[in-house]
């Protein structure tokens, strides 16, 4: 094996390490991000209900808005239970955070900042493609 082959193997391992660790870490963080967006969406829907519909239409729509509000509340409760154990942060979450930071430092050390940026972009692209494919079915 020549030097470039070894470098390519190391790069692929860094990509795999980043991907698997980031996916595990995102399982915790994405729920918080989702609830923030869900709350913003709820706010927009509530504002839309204030002036855009007739009273009998509002009553029907409020049922769905209230269901969505409950959905957000349940999601928020579930993500808090996932990330925290009582008043302490889940040790697995902390470990994944530390591991992800360490992986990013090693990638930067070996492949440079541009190398890390490329790996992050590949991860984002792959994740987005996965989401789009799952919506198609």
- CA end-to-end span of the chain: 43
Predicted TM-score of the model (pTM)? 0.81
The closest alpha carbon to 32, from 87, 91, 93, belongs to 93
| Domain, as residue range, for 53 | 3-136
Residue 30, CA atoms < 13 Å, CB-side half-sphere: 7
pLDDT tens by residue, 13-72: 999 999 999 999 999 899 889 999 999 999 998 888 777 677 777 778 888 889 999 999
Q: How confident is the model at residue 54, as a pLDDT?
A: 73
3-state secondary structure 87-99: CEECHHHHHHHHH
Q: How confident is the model at residue 136 (pLDDT cuts 50, 70, 90)?
A: low
Q: What is the total count of domains within the chain?
A: 1
DSSP state of 53: S
The closest alpha carbon to 47, from 34, 33, 61, belongs to 61
Helix or strand or coil: residue 84?
A: strand
Interhelix angle 3-52/55-83, rounded to 10 degrees, is 150
Q: Is residue 104 pLDDT above 80, yes or no?
A: yes
129-135 mean pLDDT? 87
Q: How confident is the model at residue 51, as a pLDDT?
A: 72
């Amino acid at each position: 094996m020549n030097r470039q082959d070894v470098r390519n193997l190391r790069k692929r391992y860094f990509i795999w390490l980043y991907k698997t660790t980031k996916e595990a870490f995102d399982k915790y963080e994405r729920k918080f991000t989702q609830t923030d967006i869900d709350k913003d969406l709820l706010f927009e829907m509530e504002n839309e209900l204030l002036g855009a519909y007739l009273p009998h239409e509002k009553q029907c729509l409020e049922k769905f808005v209230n269901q969505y509000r409950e959905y957000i509340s349940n999601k928020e409760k579930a993500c808090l239970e996932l990330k925290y154990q009582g008043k302490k942060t889940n040790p697995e979450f902390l470990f994944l955070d530390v591991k992800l930071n360490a992986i990013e430092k090693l990638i930067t050390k070996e492949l440079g900042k541009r190398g890390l940026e490329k790996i992050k972009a590949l991860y984002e692209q792959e994740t987005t493609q996965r989401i789009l494919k799952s919506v198609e079915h």
